[in-house]
Structure 1
């Protein structure tokens, strides 16, 4: 999540607010003060923020959820605020004001929000359901042993490959990094390339390289870990893909769009579960999914798991009601959690029992993706803000390009990133 703070216009983002009270959408609002709540009998009005999801139907879905909540809790009205544009910047700026939302979602979890007392611990919200959330979902929101958010959806990122293309070339899906390099090289013919990681030739690869060789980006105690010998070894190995000229660079869209795979431009691509409906529509069953392979035989493969997390504003005046809303929607309502994950886009519910009953995740490559996420899923650390990630990525890009001494580049990056993390942790 970006640490950048931007100026916030009252008029610029509240055009997407709708108030739900006593189970009914009462009014659209263009100010911070919803009307109609007093007449509904509600004693409390929660302001709940969502970023503007691109998937059709999502905004209508969260309004339905708010309506169902108010039917069950008529004393609590819910104002759903749909925030377009720079959501992270607008949220960070508003959290510094009295207009801060009571409940809000964030992308990659930010540990600093917990450390500065901005978000409430939610251990009591989980209750006995805690064990039903996958390990990654729990670990990603844990700070000093307490849980500071409830994961809403998991976005899983992995390697897609064309089965027919690999079979035609006599290639077995790679099980380690040597196999990935060899496969990408063998599948590169003439002007065609074997693998697409992103227009910059890196994408998530530097992060995945560190994880796949037993390294970590940042340790739980805040110590930078990406300068370790095993991390440096794997990062240096990325240069092989560039030296072999096996990577497609500069496509019309970036790694998050499956067009490069579905249009037959490359036979292997790093992308996300959200793209699977489009991939299946274009390729039928002629595709498979893989984790980023372990750097060495016997190592640990990796898939990256992002997504969105619901948090409660600890500095607000409605913490108890806000917790009740988060608990009701993201812990107790299995059907709504399943609906949110698979009816608008394609995601994995963080609760194992809910994921197990999601029809669209019950077979084929989708089911395999759920298994990969549960077995190999890794999340960016809570200290992985823009400043830290940019420092790491810049050094990794130079290493992959052979632009400087890898050890020196990474040592400088570690020093700079450690300074940023120390500031975050106070």
Structure 2
């Protein structure tokens, strides 16, 4: 399953759409009026887009941030546009029109935006704070040596487990894939399955498995690498989970929602740090978090690090004002960065110093998850767009389901993905 659509879907979008007719795009997304008491006298009005976060209070927070910015910069008003539904599709469509936002967020940064000239370089926005952003936050937005976004939050994904369920079964948290498969099988009963990875039985496990065996997806220079022997071995290994029938399938919500774990439907579930407050409310301290285990001895445990990045429209009319807004909010205002990361679900601030001072992430399982992300965090390559990830996922699913020759399936996916990446890079 492609990770980009998953990253978007987990937020629990409201209803809404963009209606496209005769070459024009009409937004039905919710927009605020320009904020701040002096907005009517502002020389510039920025349109800032956010996808419709599912965490309660997030929309009110970004409106509050916008108002504070305008108060500090009365010559620049801010209109917050809250975009429900298929945010990615709506953004891509609107960026082709004169109605394109000045500032917008991207989930799992895609370097295509930069390569086609849509994003303004933001190296100057970072200034001396650049060294305070974690490695993933810098690497994920770097294209040909320039920075094209500022990471707003790191979303960390790992494996949750119910302590009492594993203890009762005499099972310790798995440290290898075989251990995970053994645990899932042992915890499966007539009424319950042992592991939930997603409604389709895969979620993010295909790409994560490749990482866990020391493999990679795409190299920094755009060469597809998921056709390696290590990748093939890991993907073939996933077949065991499906053959054992130890995976929960077709649950009412997907992996991004902790309901399956919280309701005791499964004792182990892949999930995000954002869900930890809800899990704590349901289970108290009867849960733990571990990385996706190394495929085998010598492999690498994996914690997935995604998140959202603030970008500036290079083709907009207000580039300098837009850069000023991004710098003010996501570089300078560390108190607001902490609020955004801690108050609406849990997320990790990309700023090292801010993450270190975040009180709600300073103890217990939140602290452990942050530590795991720092040690084992992996992000998807900037070339991992829908076409590339779909080619990979389609082959991986067939391999895990025993539908064809694994090597042939993967070789075909490599060919398709390489063709798409070559198009991205104009090769």
Q: Sort the TM-score into its range (normalised by shorter chain).
A: over 0.9
C-alpha separation between the residues in 1 aligned to 2:250 and 2:53? 26
Of residues 106-115 and 74-83 in structure 1, the stretch that sits farther from structure 2 once superposed is 74-83
* Paired residue secondary structure (2:66): helix
1:257 paired with 2:257, answer yes
What does residue 10 of structure 2 align with? none
Question: 1:191 offset after TM fit, Å?
Answer: 3.8
C-alpha distance after superposition, 1:356-385 (max 9, x if no partner): 111211111111111111111111111111
C-alpha distance after superposition, 1:250-278 (max 9, x if no partner): 21221111111111111111111111111
What does residue 386 of structure 1 align with? 386
Pairing of 1:388-407 with structure 2 (within 5 A): 388-407=388-407
Aligned CA distance change for structure 1 residues 231 and 6 (closer, same or farther; 3 Å): farther
Pairing of 1:117-132 with structure 2 (within 5 A): 117-132=117-132
Pairing of 1:334-413 with structure 2 (within 5 A): 334-413=334-413
Which stretches in structure 2 are left out of the alignment for 5+ residues? 6-16
C-alpha separation between the residues in 1 aligned to 2:140 and 2:314? 19
1:217 paired with 2:232, answer no
What does residue 148 of structure 2 align with? 148
* Paired residue secondary structure (1:294): coil
Question: 1:189 offset after TM fit, Å?
Answer: 2.6
Of residues 175-184 and 329-338 in structure 1, the stretch that sits farther from structure 2 once superposed is 175-184
What does residue 71 of structure 1 align with? 71
The answer on whether the counterparts of 1:162 and 1:288 sit within 8 Å (CA) in structure 2 is yes
1:182 paired with 2:182, answer yes
The answer on whether the counterparts of 1:216 and 1:225 sit within 8 Å (CA) in structure 2 is yes
What does residue 239 of structure 2 align with? 239
C-alpha separation between the residues in 2 aligned to 1:77 and 1:225? 46
* Paired residue secondary structure (1:69): helix
C-alpha separation between the residues in 1 aligned to 2:30 and 2:371? 40
C-alpha separation between the residues in 2 aligned to 1:344 and 1:18? 23
C-alpha separation between the residues in 1 aligned to 2:172 and 2:29? 52
What does residue 9 of structure 2 align with? none
Of residues 6-15 and 233-242 in structure 1, the stretch that sits farther from structure 2 once superposed is 6-15
Which stretches in structure 1 are left out of the alignment for 5+ residues? 27-36
C-alpha separation between the residues in 2 aligned to 1:194 and 1:60? 38
Question: 1:18 offset after TM fit, Å?
Answer: 2.0
What does residue 415 of structure 1 align with? 415
C-alpha separation between the residues in 1 aligned to 2:163 and 2:29? 47
* Paired residue secondary structure (1:196): coil
Question: 1:399 offset after TM fit, Å?
Answer: 0.6
The answer on whether the counterparts of 2:215 and 2:231 sit within 8 Å (CA) in structure 1 is yes
C-alpha distance after superposition, 1:108-152 (max 9, x if no partner): 111110001110111111111111111111111111111110010
The answer on whether the counterparts of 2:141 and 2:149 sit within 8 Å (CA) in structure 1 is yes
* Paired residue secondary structure (1:392): helix
CA RMSD of aligned residues (A): 1.7
The answer on whether the counterparts of 2:261 and 2:267 sit within 8 Å (CA) in structure 1 is yes
C-alpha separation between the residues in 2 aligned to 1:410 and 1:241? 19
The answer on whether the counterparts of 2:29 and 2:84 sit within 8 Å (CA) in structure 1 is no
C-alpha separation between the residues in 2 aligned to 1:257 and 1:126? 34
What does residue 425 of structure 1 align with? 425
C-alpha separation between the residues in 2 aligned to 1:254 and 1:53? 16
* Paired residue secondary structure (1:159): strand
Of residues 167-176 and 109-118 in structure 1, the stretch that sits farther from structure 2 once superposed is 167-176
What does residue 8 of structure 2 align with? none
What does residue 283 of structure 1 align with? 283
The answer on whether the counterparts of 1:6 and 1:89 sit within 8 Å (CA) in structure 2 is no
The answer on whether the counterparts of 1:7 and 1:90 sit within 8 Å (CA) in structure 2 is no
The answer on whether the counterparts of 2:19 and 2:25 sit within 8 Å (CA) in structure 1 is no
C-alpha separation between the residues in 1 aligned to 2:194 and 2:85? 35
What does residue 61 of structure 1 align with? 61
What does residue 112 of structure 1 align with? 112
C-alpha separation between the residues in 1 aligned to 2:136 and 2:390? 23
